[in-house]
Amino acid sequence: MSFWTKDKFLFGLFTFLVLMIAGLAVLAPWLAPYDPYDAVMRQSLQAPSAEHLFGTDKLGRDCLSRILYGTRTSLLMTLSLVAIISVIGTFVGVVAGYSGGKVDTVLMRIVDMMLAFPGIVLAIAIAGMLGGNILNTILALAAVSWTKYARLGRSLTLKLRERDFIAAAVTNGTRPLHILWRHILPNILPTIVVTAAMDIGTMIMELAGLSFLGFGAQPPTPEWGLMLNEGRQHIQTAPWLMIYPGAAILAVVAIFNLWGDSLRDIMDPQRAN
């Protein structure tokens, strides 16, 4: 098996696993054996069995159903967050890199100011001020995570700005917006996409972490971080309440990280040498 064939095989394998995760999220209403919000107190804290494969929580809700619905919640939150930070960060970076001068200085000083604070600590502070819910958690993490894409977009734009085809477009009187849209963005987009794909796993962890701390999804929303928070009170008597949501986070994060790595290998032209 050649090097490139191996890369393509791994990319196909992990893409299949990612699509399976997406399928679980989409088909959760049909795959879940029970209503994730249906509390049956007489079945509280039942151990895994044939009736409830992953057991039940303190309210008698089926853990498997809540994990399946949690896939939908976590993926929707993560993809929304990654889309927001990649678009905003890339826009700021491209404008700064192409404009140069005072515009570049002001925008990059804002980026430096944001990077001066520990990201997760600042996100917790913002989420605490806004209040705990899914939307505020996404906004809090977006406020501290876009700077990575701004720096990357600026760096890539500075390299492209010196290329001959950009100089030719400027000489021909092409408007700056047209240059950015037709020449700059298409050339930096593959790198941005790879970076965004590799960030999905990280953002799943950070969103779950904020939910675990009480700043993210709120009861009775089925979300993995929130399920871990609810299960920690019963870690000795009902360990399945933390084992299965934790395993779901671990598996999904690992798959998305490996998928991002394989996508990078496929799109990196130097790997073909």
Q: Cβ distance 54 to 69 under 8 Å?
A: no
**pLDDT band (50, 70, 90) for residue 6:** confident
Fold (CATH) for 63-254: MetI-like fold (1.10.3720)
pLDDT in tens, 34-85: 999 999 899 999 999 999 999 999 999 999 999 999 999 999 999 999 999 9
What pLDDT, on a 0 to 100 scale, did the predictor assign at position 88? Answer: 94
pLDDT in tens, 179-205: 788 888 888 998 999 999 999 999 999
User: Which single residue is written with the structure tokens 């790879």?
Assistant: 194
pLDDT in tens, 139-152: 999 999 999 999 99
Torsion angle in degrees (nearest 10) through CA of 72, 250, 200, 65: 0
Backbone dihedral angles phi then psi of residue 222, each to the nearest 5 degrees:
-75, 105
Residue 99 has pLDDT above 90, yes or no: no
- Residues 238-249: what's their mean pLDDT? 94
Backbone dihedral angles phi then psi of residue 154, each to the nearest 5 degrees:
-65, -45
User: Which single residue is written with the structure tokens 């790198």?
Assistant: 191
Residue 265 has pLDDT above 80, yes or no: yes
**pLDDT band (50, 70, 90) for residue 8:** confident
Nearest-angstrom CA–CA distance, 159 and 173: 21
Taking CA atoms, 135 is separated from 1, 125, 139, 201, in Å, by 46, 15, 6, 19
Residue 246 has pLDDT above 90, yes or no: yes
What pLDDT, on a 0 to 100 scale, did the predictor assign at position 267? Answer: 77
CB atoms within 10 A of CB 6: 12
**pLDDT band (50, 70, 90) for residue 270:** low
Q: Cβ distance 8 to 51 under 8 Å?
A: no
Residue 174 has pLDDT above 80, yes or no: no
Residue 217 has pLDDT above 90, yes or no: no
Cα-to-chain-centroid distance, residue 85: 10
What pLDDT, on a 0 to 100 scale, did the predictor assign at position 205? Answer: 93
